[in-house]
């Protein structure tokens, strides 16, 4: 059981709302087999690094899942952000986050999407409830959020991704050709990033 405190929305630093979703740290990796980021992911113990050890789907099947979420007008699952002891903000539900980037483009900011933050930096976890994104009335719900967030924190403590290795949600999105094409088309920056075709 985790010791936690529910924090009100006004307690969250105001700059969070302006952060671009795509710039936040992403725990899942799709990259060249010999890259440093790929090797760092293997140290976590992922058998597949296409969106985590529990998923063995192809890039195409993952793109289809993400596209379906983005196109579903009733889809409003909140993005979970983990504020880890390394000071970084980690996106902890990748498909959901990529779906919002696909829906709103590369300039998507946190204020545009439902989200909440679990701060794992201290002894007592702090769950920032933002605009009612999650139901914190049941202890079992909050315990599940804390457990998922601590999974990220444990990887940080094991130093599997040094701070010199930045891998953002946008980096991951660039590896998904269809997702990236949609994000690029809606974005205003005109970013051009090479797509890597992988068969993992």
The pLDDT tens digits of the residues spanning 31-90 come to 555 667 667 666 666 544 444 444 555 666 777 788 889 899 899 999 999 999 889 999
3-class SS at 150? helix
* DSSP secondary structure letter of residue 20: B
pLDDT tens-digit map of 115-136: 999 999 999 999 998 998 888 8
pLDDT band at residue 94 under the 50/70/90 scheme: confident
pLDDT at 122: 92
Of residues 107 and 165, more confidence is placed in 107
Q: Are 108 and 182 in contact (CB under 8 A)?
A: no
Domain boundaries, the chain: 4-186
pLDDT at 116: 94
Q: How would you label 25-44 residue by residue, b for 16+ Cβ within 10 Å and e otherwise?
A: bbbbbbbeeeeebbebbeeb
Report d(CA 76, CA 153) in Å as an integer: 25
Report d(CA 131, CA 173) in Å as an integer: 27
Report d(CA 197, CA 157) in Å as an integer: 32
pTM, full prediction: 0.78
């Amino acid at each position: 059981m985790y010791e936690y405190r529910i924090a009100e929305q006004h307690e969250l630093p105001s700059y969070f709302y302006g952060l671009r979703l795509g710039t936040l740290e992403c725990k899942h990796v799709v990259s060249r087999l010999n890259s440093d980021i790929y090797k760092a992911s293997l140290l976590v113990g992922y058998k597949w690094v296409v969106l985590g050890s529990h998923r063995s789907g192809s890039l195409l099947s993952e793109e289809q899942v993400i596209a379906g979420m983005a196109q579903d007008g009733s889809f409003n699952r909140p993005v979970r952000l983990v504020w880890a002891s390394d000071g970084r903000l980690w996106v902890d539900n990748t498909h959901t986050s990529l779906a919002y980037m696909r829906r709103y483009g590369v300039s998507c900011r946190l204020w545009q999407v439902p989200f909440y933050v679990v701060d794992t930096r201290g002894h007592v976890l702090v769950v920032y409830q933002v605009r009612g994104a999650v139901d914190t009335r049941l202890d079992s719900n909050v315990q599940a959020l804390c457990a998922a967030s601590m999974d990220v924190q444990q990887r940080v403590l094991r130093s599997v991704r040094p701070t010199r290795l930045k891998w953002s949600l946008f980096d991951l999105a660039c590896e998904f050709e269809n997702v990236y094409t949609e994000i690029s088309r809606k974005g205003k920056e005109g970013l051009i990033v090479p797509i890597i075709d992988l068969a993992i």
